[in-house]
Structure 1
Amino acid sequence: MAAAASEPAIIAFSVKYSGKEIQINSLSSDSSLAQLQSLLYEATRVAPDNMKLLGLKGKNLSDSLAKLSELGVKSGSKLMLIGTPDAEIKQVTEEKHESVEFLEDNEAYCDGEVKLEHRPEYLDKIERRIREYKITELQAPRAGKKLLVLDIDYTFFDHKSVGSHIDELTRPYIHHLLTVAYPHYDIAIWSATSMKWIYSKLGEMRLFASEMFKISLLVDSLACISVYCEEDEANVNVKPLAVIWGQYPQYSASNTIMIDDIRRNFAMNPQSGLRIRPFRQAHQHRQHDRELIRIAEYLEAIADVEDFRELDHRRWEKYAAKRAKKRAKLEQKQGDSANPDSAGPA
């Protein structure tokens, strides 16, 4: 009488996700990838379709019926899971929808019967900041340059995600953006955090060490003011550009653009603000994020505009796309001129 086939042995291995080790000790080498994905979903709420498992081997990496033994998984294996939980995907979708609404909305944010920038109690706060707050100057303003004011968190740095190196959390092309902008703009960094944090993060990102651009001004949370927002029914902190303009009169609404991911930061200067899509879940989005390339195209395109108050920064993407198309045609034309034989025989 033939002996019954023995059950495949249980294998014990781990999957790392968001800095934590998930121990798997209830599967065998004959278990399928789908079974592993089911366990990981219970532990992380990352849907199987959104999972990317690093450390698997073989040709059937996308086959949910493939056995773990076929994928090189055995006792002691260490895998890594990359993916976004369902709840966070929903949040990002809602934020993206809200961003689209903002681009289509012609109403100023937080305004009641009197526009915030004209309210005397807030103008008094700004005057006090101009008198008492000292902007950190790293490089003196250059004659004839416009001013680019950049936020940090979620504008070009994902400060909530976990990474083994700062480059993993830095938005792609920030060095490109600053290099393109620098010939036309003095660069200011304004973060609603501490100056110590600003120095730390910019230093780690090597933004002080470039030979292609220099940062002129640093502004921290102490320069912000609190205003009452009827839309939120709460007091919110905002970034009034007049604090900079009051200390550096060569800058004004006519030559300043402020880029931030938070709409309310423009409440005192709605005409000067360009809202950027927030850079979150860096591990998921970093590979495909091209936002700063398009922003750089826009900044270069408007650099010769005499008065920025004539612009509607909510339409920046259309403006940048048109500029990019013109540049591509020009480069193609120049290429054809440099290679006359490419036009074919006469």
Structure 2
Amino acid sequence: MPTEHEDTKDEISLAEEIWIALTFTWSGKAFQLSIAESDRVFDLKNVIHNLTRVPPERQKILGLVKGKLPPEQERIGDLRIGGKKFTLIGTPEGDEIKDPSQLEVLPDVINDLDIDVSEDSAAMKAYKNDKRNIRKIKEMTEKLKVNLIHPLRQGKKLLVLDIDYTILDTKPLTSGSLPPAECARPGLHQFLEAVYPYYDICIWSQTSWIWLETKLVELEMVGSDKGYQIAFVLDKTSMFTVFTERDNKPWTHSVKPLQIIWNHFPQFDASNTIHVDDLSRNFALNPGEGLKIHAFKNAHTEAAMADKELEKIARYMVHIASVGDFKTLSHKDWKYVVRGLPPR
């Protein structure tokens, strides 16, 4: 939980933000918007999307800058566009003729181009001090409405658990090629039952709530008589995009900012929260709380059926449950810790 001093620093940082007013026309109508200098071209396109329903990939912006619009990671403050008027050309969602092959399908979150921010102190500092990230956390906190499925229990720690390729193989589940039970990572329910006496459980997925709810029910994680309860669920709408570099090239990715949970539930903070995910980049704003698990795929194979990862993580999490401050731990060492535990 942030201290009063830290809250004051954040408020000062946000107060120092410089906002730019812009006017544009689209389909014969005038629109106005406000964008912060610390925002990126990515954010500008999303504001335009919210105003017009024209998705970023269809937006043609004329008159804002000379020549071609800069890449999405470019900072608004570097464009010197204050007071500018521009024209938008683009077809809004719903008005296009859709090819059936282009219709949205069930999401498939892939472990590509992953990055471990904890190995780069400069990147960690840049993420933490980015005014845009500070403001996004504040905005996401205000926007978040948590629906408690099961009451939080006094004195418990918090497990934030990813779903796609962490506790199930997403591809055969969404395609229907395997029954839900055969898509689950081996030992899923035993893992959750083992840690539940010590941890309240939050499921946080990078997919949408529609698919997430269906998955949880099909996997019997919700609405069953298992020996654990899911406290609450977050989906991709509680994530936002951040900007960094990879191999000296601009790179963007989404993050799961634990601070928005801590702001809603102050009994949880960095001292008692652990985040299990197959993507290290999801830990970017909270690298110390992340525990990376290798991605679970090819659920139908013999190797996948022999997977023991959740059994090992359960042993680790039960072992550290009595630790008063998780900030004293390095979850990167979790496998070494498990190897040193006495046999059961």
TM-score surpassing 0.5? yes
The aligned counterpart of 2:137 is 126
Question: In the aligned structure 2, how far is the partner of 1:270 from the partner of 1:115?
Answer: 13
The aligned counterpart of 1:135 is 146
Is residue 218 of structure 2 the alignment partner of residue 204 of structure 1?
yes
The residue correspondences of 1:12-27 to structure 2 (distance < 5 A) are: none
The aligned counterpart of 1:344 is none
Cα offset, 1:108, TM superposition: 3.7
Change over 3 Å in CA distance of 1:114–1:159 after alignment to 2: same
TM-score normalized by structure 2? Answer: 0.62
Cα offset, 1:225, TM superposition: 1.4
Q: How many residues align?
A: 228
Is residue 272 of structure 2 the alignment partner of residue 261 of structure 1?
no
- Please say if residues 237 and 265 of structure 1, whose CA atoms lie closer than 8 Å, have aligned partners that are also in contact: yes
2:190 to 169, 176, 185: 176
Superimposed CA distance per residue, residues 284-337 of structure 1 (whole angstroms, 9 cap, x where no aligned partner) = 2322101100010001010000000000000100111212xx143xxxxxxxxx
Is residue 229 of structure 2 the alignment partner of residue 214 of structure 1?
yes
Q: Which amino acid is 1:304 matched to?
A: S
Question: In the aligned structure 2, how far is the partner of 1:171 from the partner of 1:289?
Answer: 7
Is residue 314 of structure 2 the alignment partner of residue 305 of structure 1?
no
Cα offset, 1:120, TM superposition: 2.1
- Please say if residues 189 and 226 of structure 2, whose CA atoms lie closer than 8 Å, have aligned partners that are also in contact: no
- Please say if residues 118 and 287 of structure 2, whose CA atoms lie closer than 8 Å, have aligned partners that are also in contact: no
Q: Which amino acid is 2:119 matched to?
A: E
- Please say if residues 118 and 124 of structure 2, whose CA atoms lie closer than 8 Å, have aligned partners that are also in contact: no
TM-score normalized by structure 1? Answer: 0.62
Is residue 126 of structure 2 the alignment partner of residue 115 of structure 1?
yes
The aligned counterpart of 2:78 is none
| Secondary structure at 2:125 match in 1 | coil
Specify every segment of 5 or more residues in structure 2 that has no aligned partner in the other structure, as ranges: 1-109
- Please say if residues 116 and 268 of structure 1, whose CA atoms lie closer than 8 Å, have aligned partners that are also in contact: yes
- Please say if residues 157 and 169 of structure 1, whose CA atoms lie closer than 8 Å, have aligned partners that are also in contact: yes
Question: In the aligned structure 2, how far is the partner of 1:306 from the partner of 1:124?
Answer: 30
Is residue 293 of structure 2 the alignment partner of residue 276 of structure 1?
yes
The residue correspondences of 1:39-188 to structure 2 (distance < 5 A) are: 107-108=119-120, 111-112=122-123, 114-161=125-172, 163-188=177-202
Cα offset, 1:206, TM superposition: 0.3
| Secondary structure at 2:123 match in 1 | coil
More displaced 10-residue stretch of structure 1: 310-319 or 209-218: 209-218
Change over 3 Å in CA distance of 1:199–1:113 after alignment to 2: closer
Question: In the aligned structure 2, how far is the partner of 1:319 from the partner of 1:114?
Answer: 28
Superimposed CA distance per residue, residues 132-179 of structure 1 (whole angstroms, 9 cap, x where no aligned partner) = 121221112110000000000000111123533111211111101100
Q: Which amino acid is 1:221 matched to?
A: K
The aligned counterpart of 1:43 is none
Question: In the aligned structure 2, how far is the partner of 1:210 from the partner of 1:248?
Answer: 27
Q: Percent identity?
A: 36
Cα offset, 1:106, TM superposition: 5.7
Change over 3 Å in CA distance of 1:183–1:108 after alignment to 2: farther
- Please say if residues 124 and 284 of structure 2, whose CA atoms lie closer than 8 Å, have aligned partners that are also in contact: no
The aligned counterpart of 1:237 is 254
Change over 3 Å in CA distance of 1:113–1:302 after alignment to 2: closer
Cα offset, 1:114, TM superposition: 3.1
User: Looking at CA atoms only, which structure, 1 or 2, has the larger radius of gyration?
Assistant: 1
Question: In the aligned structure 1, how far is the partner of 2:208 from the partner of 2:163?
Answer: 12
The aligned counterpart of 1:289 is 307
